[in-house]
Each structure stands twice: as C-alpha cells, then as structure tokens.
Structure 1
Amino acid sequence: MTGSDPVVELRDLTKKYGQLAAVDGVNLTVHRGEVFGFLGPNGAGKTTTLRMLLGLIRPTSGDAAVLGVRPGDPDALRRIGSLIEGPGFYPYLTGRTNLRTMARYAGVPASNVGPALEAVGLADRAGDKFGTYSLGMKQRLGVAAALLKDPELVILDEPTNGLDPQGMRDMRELIVDLGRQGRTVILSSHLMGEVQQICERVAVIDRGRIVREGTVEQLRGDTELELVATPSDVAVATLRALSFVDDVRTEAGCLLVKVGTRHTAEITRALVHAGVAVTGVRRTERELEDVFFDLTTHEDKELSHV
C-alpha cells in the first residue's frame, strides 16, 4: 500500500547549461510504495532530473530530498537501485561475474546475485559473457544490478528497451511486484501502454517543466458513452434531464454522453422507458498515449509562415 511519507521531494529544481534550462523549476513528490511514471519526449529533461536525484548532476538551483536527505548522500545511495540510460558492464566478464563485481564494490553480499538474476529471468544465461548479450538481455542485467542492494527506491530509465513482447511482460510484472513489496519505483518510459498498466501516478515533463501530474485516470480524463438511439431528439431530451449526465452532443450519427462509469445501465433504462430504441452502446476512453501527445506536441510556428 502506498505510504503518505514522501520518498522524493523536488522543489523548484532547476538545471541550466548556459542559457538553456534542461530542467526548469520542477516540483514533484513521490510517495513510499508507489510505482510512479515519469514521462516526456526525448530531450524533455527526464534523464537530467533522474541524474540529479542520484547526485550524479548538481542542480543549478532548487531543493531536492531523496529518502529524507540530499541527493548523493552515501547512506541513501545504499538504499537506492537504479538503471539510467543504459547499463555499463565489462563485456569480457559473464553476467554473474559482473554482478558479483558490482556487489563487492557496493558492499553487498554475493548471495544477492542469484536472486537478482532470477528476478529478471537471466539465471540460465548468467554464465555467458556480457559482450554476447542481446540488447534486451543487457537491459535485464542492468535491472538485476539495480536490485542487488535490496533497495527501498528503484529508479528505472527505459527498462524495457530492447525487450521482446514476453520480456516486456515479464518486466511489467517485476515492476508491479516491486511495488507490492513496498518498494518505491520511479519508471521513465516512452511506452504509454506500459505506464498505463503499471503506474499509479504519472508526471509529464516537457521542455524542462512538469506540464501535468496526477493519477493515470485523472490524466486520461472522463470517459464518454457512445449511443446509437432513435429518435435522437427524444434521446437527447431524456439524457439532458438526467442529473448525472454532464453533457450530450451528436457526432457522426451517434450520441456522445459525458457521464460516470456507474450510470450506463441507468441511462439505457431511462431511454427505453422513454420509447427510444437503443441499438448500440459503447464506452470510449482516451488512452494515456493520446493525452501524452496532446501535452507534448508543439506546432513549429516558424514553419507555419513558410
């Protein structure tokens, strides 16, 4: 269950390179035990923000606290596992030996290596050299490395990159399971369907600023009920008389009704009682991907004058 105490708190976090603000006044709170989606197009500031959380980049201004302390604090880093951008391992060592080497540097028992390999489905290939791994296998090993310290906070930047459909499904299940274990997961991904399935809350960053934050349901907005009903004038009048109907409009011969999910049966019943023939009922929902593109797609004003 998601706790109320924050694991990550960002207040006006800013990172500038010269005059360019890669991250511009970001405010964000991630609570204990939640799987949090961090979304944005390439160059939006996602990876820069995640690097600041780990103390790899120093912010230009603003405040950040991770597990109650400043980013990069050694005690906090012992409780954080991360995969940022891409995994870096010795190509001539096996997957198992790479993890054992990392465990030794991190002061982690070697006994943690086996469970981490099992968790990402690499136990059978742990004896192969990293240089022979496919892109998806390299990503799996990177996630295994993130789990070595039995972390409270896991930060994953595009963890399904290069995975086949089965691997993506396995990774989704692993991330959900991490949340169930009470760990906090920050997931950066460009796969909206993936985020929609596994994240509780989402923040969208664009051009260095947070443009929307909330639950997946809040971002997707209200659903609509699409009806095929005749006579349409009677149907519209009946629907508008219902207190729980927010809006009714006609489009392409259908009635689009803005209403909560609980009232589908009541609407159908009211229309039938009014003598309306209902021949089609379908609930439409916006996908998170549609919302993402609405928030992050910009017209090039200069091109509009060409």
Structure 2
Amino acid sequence: METILTIKHLTKKFGYLTAVKDLSFTIKKGNVYGILGPNGSGKSTTLGIVLNVVNKTSGDFQWFDGNISTHNALKKVGAIIERPNFYPYMTAAQNLKLVCKIKDVPLTKIEEKLEVVGLLDRKDHKFSTYSLGMKQRLAIASALLNDPEILILDEPTNGLDPQGIHQIREIIKDIASKGTTILLASHLLDEVEKVCSHVVVLRKGVKLYSGRVDEMISSHGFFELKCNKETELIDFISNHSAFSSSKIENNLITAFLNTPLSSEDFNKQLFAKGIILTHLVQRKESLEEQFLQLTDN
C-alpha cells in the first residue's frame, strides 16, 4: 500500500515546553486516520509541522515517496487547520472562485465540490448568511478543489450542533469511500470510533498507541469482581498468566485479561482454591475505556 506521509522521531519545543516528543507514525493511502488526544496533547502542532506552518525542533517527516519537496507535495494536500476564513460579503461560489485562481484549478470544480458537501443549492448565498456547520462544509469544499490525495482536518466538528456534527461525519465517510486518504485531529472518542480506521493516541506530545481502531478495542476484556477474601483474590489474579493488571475501587476489583478466559472457567479455578465470589461480571472494553487506561484517566 502506497505511503502518503512518514513521520520519524518528530519533536517540537516551545521554550521549556515540549509540545511533541519523539513522535513516529506512518499514513498509508486509502485510510482514515485520527490523531486522538485531549487539548494540549500536540495534535495541532503535529499537523502544523507537516503542513510547513510550524518549524520542527528535531526529527523528520516526508510526503509520499520522499523524492518530492514539501512545497510540491503540499500541492497534493487539502487542509483545514483553522476556522473557515472567507469573505463574508461574497457568495460561496465567488469565494471558491478566488481559491481556484490561487490554486490554479479549473472553475468547473466549484459546483462538483459544493455538491459533495451538500451546498450546491446555497452556492449563490453570501458566506455571512451561513451557519457554523455550513461554513465548515464550505471549507471542506475549498480544501477538495485541487482533488487532494490526502485531506487534513483539525477538530472538524468543534463547536457544531448534533446535526452539524452528523453532516460533517457523513461527508468525511463519503470522501474516504471514494479513495481520498484523511487525517483528522480530534479530542472526541466518539468521532474517532465512528469515522476512523486507524488512530494515533497522544498525551502531552507522546505517542501512547498507533494502529487500527478495531485492534485497539479488540482486547480480551475484563472481570468485575467482589469477594469476602479480597487479599487472596488479588494474589490469585497477580499470579495468573491470563491477567495483565488489576485495580480496586469502592470494593470492586477490576481484572484486565491479556488472553481469553471464560467466566465459568475462572469461577471454577477460584472455587478450587476456596475463593467464593459474591459478584462476577465479564465485560468487553470500549474505546473510551482503552483510552482512559492509556492516558491514566
């Protein structure tokens, strides 16, 4: 599969603050990648570096096969990393006409891309009359004018109402289904779970996970347990090869599995040791639970 972007040991410092630390990951063609992390985790800084608007401190990145300059590579990239910024007194079509001239793109692309984002019927309406969601959709249309190989979006649904969020997500899925690679930064777990095929999890500029979303949430789950012999139960779990870790909160023991183990077999093993459970529930982890474990809540 063709490589779109390779990031190697990227670091960015702002004085004493390290915004991105030794970050490495690769983006392959045809997938939807999410950079997931709380505010201040280095998502926007990473996007700014690869788009040449923020200078890196160390490390490297290369677009496509690496034999093309960043300046020329960015001609094949569409990006929205700030709030949509168009002339309010001009119509959507007039604003996109200006973008076409800047990008040296034929004007025939305007209606094609407005249709993609569901704004063709509003093409002759002034930008000032658009809702926030419509402004964001127009920005996506603008970023698509040059038929980019990759579309980069920074918090694409930030500040939108539920309907606006749904519309943007459906547009992203539609664009991806036609073969465009997408990289989006988000602090919303729900967004990444619903839209992305791959995820890079950041905390304070450090990568905690990189891989497929479905693999991140395909853990073997965990047991929720209560028992009158709590110390013996914890010792048993600690010495059991099927468990990776455990925690106690409000007398509830949570034991995380690293290999498959049925509740029936586990209960039999405990019973044989004279440990009787008063509560036993087996669960699968959601992306949220995985994320909270990765980021230490």
Out of 213, 216, 223, the residue aligned to residue 216 of structure 1 is 213
| Matches of 2:82 and 2:37, distance apart in 1 | 14
What residue identity is the alignment partner of 2:25? L
What residue identity is the alignment partner of 1:72? T
- 1:101-134 per-residue CA deviation (whole Å, 9 max, x = no partner) reads 1011101111111121111121222222112222
Out of 104, 121, 142, the residue aligned to residue 139 of structure 2 is 142
Q: Work out whether 1:72 is the aligned partner of 2:75.
A: no
Say whether the 8 Å CA contact 2:208–2:294 is kept in structure 1.
no
| Matches of 2:204 and 2:251, distance apart in 1 | 40
TM-superposed CA distance for 1:259, in Å, is: 7.4
- Aligned match of 1:101: 98
In the TM superposition, what are the counterparts of 1:22-33 in structure 2 within 5 Å? 22-33=19-30
| Matches of 2:62 and 2:154, distance apart in 1 | 19
What residue identity is the alignment partner of 1:94? T
- Aligned match of 1:160: 157
Change over 3 Å in CA distance of 1:288–1:256 after alignment to 2: closer
Out of 186, 192, 195, the residue aligned to residue 192 of structure 2 is 195
| Matches of 1:196 and 1:30, distance apart in 2 | 18
- Aligned match of 1:176: 173
Percent identical residues: 40
In the TM superposition, what are the counterparts of 1:239-278 in structure 2 within 5 Å? none
Range that drifts further, 147-156 or 171-180? 171-180
Range that drifts further, 208-217 or 29-38? 208-217
Structure 2 segments unaligned to the other structure (5+ residues): 226-241, 268-279
TM-superposed CA distance for 1:219, in Å, is: 2.9
Say whether the 8 Å CA contact 2:243–2:255 is kept in structure 1.
yes
Q: Work out whether 1:285 is the aligned partner of 2:285.
A: yes
| Matches of 2:291 and 2:45, distance apart in 1 | 23
What residue identity is the alignment partner of 2:41? A
Q: Work out whether 1:295 is the aligned partner of 2:295.
A: yes
| Matches of 1:282 and 1:118, distance apart in 2 | 47
Say whether the 8 Å CA contact 1:139–1:161 is kept in structure 2.
no
What residue identity is the alignment partner of 2:9? D
TM-superposed CA distance for 1:195, in Å, is: 0.7
In the comparison of the two structures, how many residue pairs are matched? 283
What residue identity is the alignment partner of 1:31? K
Say whether the 8 Å CA contact 1:12–1:62 is kept in structure 2.
yes
Out of 56, 65, 70, the residue aligned to residue 53 of structure 2 is 56
What residue identity is the alignment partner of 2:118? G
Change over 3 Å in CA distance of 1:104–1:17 after alignment to 2: same
Change over 3 Å in CA distance of 1:122–1:293 after alignment to 2: farther
How big is the alpha-carbon RMSD for the aligned residues of Structure 1 and Structure 2?
A: 3.8
Change over 3 Å in CA distance of 1:292–1:184 after alignment to 2: farther
| Matches of 1:184 and 1:46, distance apart in 2 | 18
TM-superposed CA distance for 1:171, in Å, is: 2.1
- 1:273-304 per-residue CA deviation (whole Å, 9 max, x = no partner) reads xxxxxxx987543233661575165xxxxxxx
Structure 1 segments unaligned to the other structure (5+ residues): 229-244, 272-279, 298-306
List structure 1 segments (4+ residues) > 4 angstroms apart after TM superposition: 225-228, 251-264, 280-283
What residue identity is the alignment partner of 2:61? A
